[in-house]
Amino acid sequence: MRLRNTLATIIIIKLIIIAIIKLVFFPDFLTKKAPDDKAGYVATQILNQ
C-alpha cells in the first residue's frame, strides 16, 4: 500500500508542477484566435511577412 501511495503522490506532484510551468512560462498564441486568424498568425510566422 505504501508503494502505491508513494507512486500516486509522485504522479500528482509532477502533474501540478507541469501545469504551473505551462501557465507561467508558455503563453497561448492560438487558442483565443478565430480559425482564419490562426492561419494568418502562423503564415506571418512562417513567411516572415
- 39 touching other proteins, by CB under 8 A: yes
Where do we find the cell 502533474? 15
How far CA 25 is from CA of 18, 20, 21, 22, 32, in Å, comes to: 11, 8, 6, 6, 17
Among positions 1, 25, 32, 34, the unique one binding other proteins when judged by CB under 8 A: 25
Give how many residues touch other proteins by CB under 8 A: 28
Among positions 1, 5, 32, 48, the unique one binding other proteins when judged by CB under 8 A: 48
- 5 touching other proteins, by CB under 8 A: no
